[in-house]
Amino acid sequence: MKLSDIGEFGFIDRIKKDTIVNPASVVVGIGDDGAVYKTTEGKEQVAVIDTMIEGRHFIIGKTATWYEAGYKAVASNLSDIAAMGAEPTHLVLSVALTPQMDAAQTDELYRGMKDICRHYGVNILGGDTVVSSEGAVLTVAAFGEIEAGKAVLRSGAVPGDIVAVSNTLGNSGAGLDVLLAGDAGYAAMKKAHAMPVPQVELGRLAVKYGCHSLNDISDGLASESNEIAAASHVDLILDKLQIPLSDELRRWCEVSGKDPYAYALAGGEDYELVLTMAPDDFYLLKEEFSSLTVIGKVQAGSGNVYLKDGHHTQVLAPSGWNHFSGGE
């Protein structure tokens, strides 16, 4: 059955089930001109928005299933919420779909969205659906809450801070190349690209332990570290050999002749967090969240990032994903 067969209202009836997972904060959900929700006293609201375009950000049958596309559209927004130290609460969707799209495919798209929302306790409050002539366009606006005055910004890094990242970097960019090439195996890298894990828990702990600055690694470490340096008016000194890489990434790069650090620095879409904080506070945080690696330090400067590689140090330019670069 095609979307053209069931129409707009039939489509809405089909997808509105199981959209509210935390009803206590919802006054009006899907079904009216607007949603109404309650905010928590003493907390400030965080709002983010992101768009994924079929053929540009995902290719059905090659780099993603419809389920994975829906999951990732939400995950990228929850990662931005996490990068502010906030807890995600609600989202609204604007979805452009072709009339020829099968209703079962839309079921999978929304199943992916609903599953990740259920995992993080996020309500889908509503949105908009329009017709697209050239493929799906998925826009998610997500909202979160954080204690008043506690949002962790890019601009808070200070000299003496350590620089650290969560988990490992580079798997998503390499996973994309593996998927595009149709290579067998490398399941972890493929999953890292198709179904990234937003670091919501770490974002909340960063607030608890007094993190000074925070950024999610959506466009690559080189880009995100430069954003912190520029916003904070400091220099970041990163040690290339300390950047954490997965064994699977190292193995694939040995076979393919690729540079694993190129993926870690500029591959993008890892959705890990890069943070700066005082060393004593960092090691307290690490006792509660062990998957953190120190990769550098913050020093007084004018907004540059330097990459050490043994005895050689060079400026690290903000390379990585750029929406207007014309490339994937």
50 is in an annotated binding site: yes
| Angle between helix 171-181 and 247-256 (nearest 10) | 50
**Distance separating alpha carbons of residues 193 and 190, to the nearest angstrom:** 5
Is residue 154 annotated as involved in ligand binding? yes
Residue 110 assigned as binding residue: yes
Looking at this protein, which amino acid is placed at residue 84? M
13 has binding-site annotation? no
115 among annotated binding-site residues: no
Mention every residue, 6+ apart, whose C-beta is less than 8 A from residue 196.
72, 75, 76, 79, 172, 269, 270, 271
Burial class (CB in 10 A: 0-12, 13-18, 19+), 312: exposed
- pLDDT computed for residue 323 by the predictor: 44
Q: Are 282 and 162 in contact (CB under 8 A)?
A: yes
pLDDT in tens, 111-120: 999 999 999 9
pTM: 0.92
pLDDT under 70 in the chain at which residues?
A: 1-16, 320-328
User: Is residue 177 a known part of a binding site?
Assistant: no
Q: Is 312 annotated as a binding residue?
A: no
The span from the CA of 67 to the CA of 202, in Å, is 25
Q: How far apart are CA 198 and CA 53, in angstroms?
A: 20
Domains assigned to the chain? 6-24+40-147 (3.30.1330.10), 161-315 (3.90.650.10)
pLDDT in tens, 182-238: 999 999 999 999 999 999 999 999 999 999 999 999 999 999 999 999 999 999 999
* Residue 322: per-residue pLDDT: 47
Burial class (CB in 10 A: 0-12, 13-18, 19+), 31: exposed
The edge-to-edge listing of strands for the beta sheet with 87-97 is 43-53, 137-147, 87-97, 123-131
Token couple for 313 = 């140090």
Do the annotations mark residue 57 as ligand-binding? yes
